[in-house]
Structure 1
């Protein structure tokens, strides 16, 4: 809608009313005044004309012949007398005396005068004639016909109404002047209103709209103090208060949003129409996950399990809790109705869901760990017990047999000690108790030493071990002992999970060291063509106690499932990262990325 100015409309209305009133007053005054003045003036003129008529008719022949007979009358008077064939026209106004013949002709040829002459009745007429300059000349004319000694005569007396006409023109001019002055005054008044009222109000209106858009950069300034400036001062204070309040609200809102989004649990709020009105980060992550795994999600606003719980909440005004699963992910879901206390009405439902997949997985992993450790400890303990009893009972007769049994006991004890040390190392590193002894290590010597440790294992499994160092990367600064543990675990896993002999043309374990310029990283790539890792196990292989072959069906597999967890921890304390790519039946590749600046 188009914006209009109330002051412009007020000014136009005020001006229109004033002009209308003045016009009506002028018309009324003119009608009354002019009529009254004209009547009085006409009576006075008629008296003068009648006096001149009486004077002339007392001696018509004298006025016909005497040149100065009418000098005692007003100069505005003129007369024309005619008796038989003699006539005389007398004009006393010196300005018109040179136009006597023209004026007389114009008077006698006037229609009103001709009518008056024909009527034979004394008559006063007001006529307008033209002078020699074609200017209008207003006259009051009296026509009187008479007989003198049997001869017909005619007397025409004229009175110049120039003064009366001047009066009317002056009256009109004064009225127009007053009207003009008034209009100028109203324009000045309008400009005053614009400058002192409309413009400040316009500025305050614009600033108020800026306030509504949370823009408090403008303030109102005034040169004087009046009601408008008082309103502006109040608006300035209001703006400051709103700005302070907005800042506080923004800080509180940002804090609440931060707290809301930082909650580990997903939060979803649905209104009575089952429309999603509020969701935090974890809640949105769940919805994205659900839409990926549910082919019918596009036609739904929420999972059907949620809808049943929400409908129950609306129906009973009570909450509910359930454990739900989607595509191997597990969630604890709580639905709580939101009740408006004053109306005692449910306005919506709040769904709080927590991803408990890791907890469930950890429970499974802990159970597997207990089983694995029990199995891995029971077998060597039984062997230690059996060989110890054999030595005590002198079952081993020869010294060589006793030494062989003692060696087996030592090997099993060493394996158990290694298992316990690994557990202690992992706990210590994950607690932050890690001291790194960084030194420049010759990588060729480092990998040659590792190859020598696995020489027998490589021969037994028919595995070809190779490594390749990129140009410019011959040494690297890391903790040699701990990184030896990393690559030992990775190579050991590759050996234990290698394919059966005969299933590959050539089984291999290959290590490549190269530079990634884009990421400014040094990459250690350990690849093999073993049995690979199951797809569902890939997200969990770096978890403590997790084992890829839970059934323990693969004969070469031993250990507690903490080797890769130790590997990941050591890599991370070196400011690096590790990832794995694997395809069952094809092979596995581990990528260890360490900062380039340590080269």
Structure 2
């Protein structure tokens, strides 16, 4: 069955059908020809009967009967026929001696007598050699139509025409033609298979190889006909397809490389809301967000925030941008629909997620910075303006009051000057424009000077300042003494302002290591109220103040710890803070370069 469905089978069946049709038409025409041009058995019988009647009518006219019979037999011998004549007594007068046949071979005495009384007789006879003969016995009358008794009987016989032989011959010929036609069609079918179907089969195998990804496959061109042109077209198609696949593969690799190198998370979503392509960052984000508990389940495999934005983008068929807050992070999400030529128009969407937590925090700090600067400057400016108006309006009556107002104006101007100077210093350090004078520095000498400087200040605030320095000498190979003094000045100033009366502040130095190299650890520990845990990550931000109710005075600008962090990092060190509410706070500074 599979063979008949193949091209070879169809060609074979087609050629066999054509040959069979031609042979059938030929057989019909030949049969028609035989029926038209050859004598049938009935025609032979009729002809033989007419011949017998004519011969019997001519016999009475020839007195030399033997001679006439011989002459007739010679004439009939060409047609494999003969004549036997009987007299009125049914004795043979003359008979054919060539075929060796006698009247008794055809008719018995009864048939001959019937013929003698005027009844024509017909008979068939098969000779011992297998030949068949037809014979007619007719009466011999003196005159045709005479009522007188017949004078004898004429028996005319003829070999039966072998139409069966002709039919058998043509049947055998037809069978031979069928066999030859079958063999020829089979030969030509397989010949055509070699010339036509084999190249087609090679093309099919090549197409199967291409479907499996073997784009380098090529087929030999074995002819210059249509199949050869088809093979050339196939090779050209395969070549261009290979180049196209290579270009697509390169583009895919480039796109994949770009997606992998992107810091943003990229997620491609199908129309059913299920992610179909993500980069590593996108996979990590989806895995993290899926592990969270949302109020409602998202569509497909998307977490709830992305699912809502995806639905909006698919419904409105336009780009959707929003910010999503997940835990303590802020994400900027852009979802753009992917259009197609299908009736619905959209086949999915691509989402780009960027972690903007730092930008959000910086933006908040910027806003807080502007608000704090405005607030910090507005207070001294308002006081300067108010007390200046008081002097201009002569509100102060006595010199002591005017002196007091002038002192307030002076103090506020100093405070505003410190604020401006701190802002300038911080801006220079962050921009890298601050100049440092690095030199070798003895740690004990620096701390003793700072201790003497703040001991009196602490005594005035009823806070004891304790210095702890080891006996072994310690030094910093690369340090700016003035800037480090500014660091500890800011730390101690904060500690004194935030430490209740009667408590102790400890300033200490000890050996340590930083990144595997010798270093010095400095600690400023107070016994104040401490810093709440939620405020600890932000204490080094500009203008950040934790609990303003715990400050002793209002002289702080909120920039001291930011300046401390920048100076320490400029020295290649680190600064950290630890605090326990109601116990105290410890600032730790580690600087490299201990000897």
What TM-score do you get using the length of structure 1 for normalisation?
A: 0.50
Specify the structure having the higher radius of gyration (Cα).
2
